[in-house]
Amino acid sequence: MTRLVIGTRGSALALAQVELTTAALSQAWPELQMGREIFITRGDQKLDLNLLVKGEAGGKGLFTRELEEALLDGRIDVAVHSLKDLPGHNPPGLEIAAVLERAPVADVLISKAAGGLDALPQGARVGTSSIRRARQLAWLRPDLLIEEWRGNVPTRLRKLGERADVQGIVLAEAGLLRLGYSMEKAMLRCDGAEFFAASLAERMLPAIGQGAVALQARSDRAEVLDVVRAINHGPTMFAIRAEREVQRLLAGDCSVPVGVRTVVEGGRMRMHGILFFPGRTEPVTAEAEGMVPEDVARELAAKLR
């Protein structure tokens, strides 16, 4: 194979992830030519959808369907996704062929005052588009007012500076790092504005697949699979196998309020999960460990259910 066409969304973060992908592919296959097709997904178009409400807005494939359709009809060879955007089930004929090395998985509170989550004033307004983050925030701080907050990372940061009534937003550390934002001395700078950055790694469990970049391809394209698998990061895929199986068993997409942290040491996996049910404030939490990702996932999913 001499030329590979890569599909992606057009956001700054999506394009940064494509740059990481093309750099890895160029190192593995110096003679490979690469083209790029940019797609506008339904999630990009429907900015009025409230992602904190499960239903149409949180449906499967909100940010991925257009790329998957392009894979299936042969317009592109591989699609680059933020793994946490992918539903638990691949469409028939598609697979995750490879993942890049995982970035830090923590959520980060970006706020206008120092001190992190506990320092937010009583009744503070916090923005997020993630139902997982919203449910965990409401559990940890029931007094907070959680506001649906859409847009790419630069847009959200700009809005935070403009909105006097919003004290903070929650973003993924991986996305901030990939976009080149500096969080030196717990500060984040954007367009001349300064915010305080506090990791929530010890307080909140990340999304399934958070921090990982997935390369999706057709299962019957052996020549594409051979190229892409050359840059697969084995330890990340090992963890992702378990997390994706939990997602599948919970019939999950990105609208299900489930968080999972996976730690692999010496070939042994330990998973910690949290799941919120409708109408219940208190979540179910569980842990599982073992050597086979799918077995660990089945144990964790059973305990969470």
Angle (CA) 160 166 171, round 5°: 55
Nearest to 34 by CA among 10, 7, 12, 67: 7
Tokens linked to 166 = 């919003």
Mean pLDDT over the full length of the chain: 91
Residue 55 has pLDDT above 80, yes or no: no
Model confidence band, residue 40 (pLDDT cutoffs 50, 70, 90): confident
Tokens linked to 59 = 């449906």
Q: Is 85 a catalytic residue?
A: yes
pLDDT digits (tens, 9 = 90+) for 199-217: 999 999 999 999 999 999 9
pLDDT digits (tens, 9 = 90+) for 218-241: 999 999 999 999 999 999 999 999
Contact between residue 88 and residue 241 where contact means Cβ atoms under 8 Å apart: no
pLDDT digits (tens, 9 = 90+) for 236-273: 999 999 999 999 998 765 567 999 999 999 889 999 99
Q: Stretch 28-48: mean pLDDT, rounded?
A: 85
List the catalytic residue out of 77, 85, 107, 253. 85
| Per-residue confidence (pLDDT) for residue 191, from 0 to 100 | 77
pTM: 0.90
Phi, psi of 260 (to 5 degrees): -140, 135
Residue 276 has pLDDT above 70, yes or no: yes
Residue 52 has pLDDT above 90, yes or no: no
Q: b/e per residue, 61-96, with b = 16+ CB within 10 A?
A: bbbbbbbbbbbeeeebbbbbbbbbbbbbebbeebeb
Terminal-residue alpha carbon distance, the chain:
45
Nearest to 109 by CA among 89, 126, 96: 126
Q: Which domains does the chain have, with CATH numbers?
A: 3-103+208-304 (3.40.190.10), 107-199 (3.40.190.10)
Tokens linked to 35 = 């083209």
Tokens linked to 247 = 């997602």
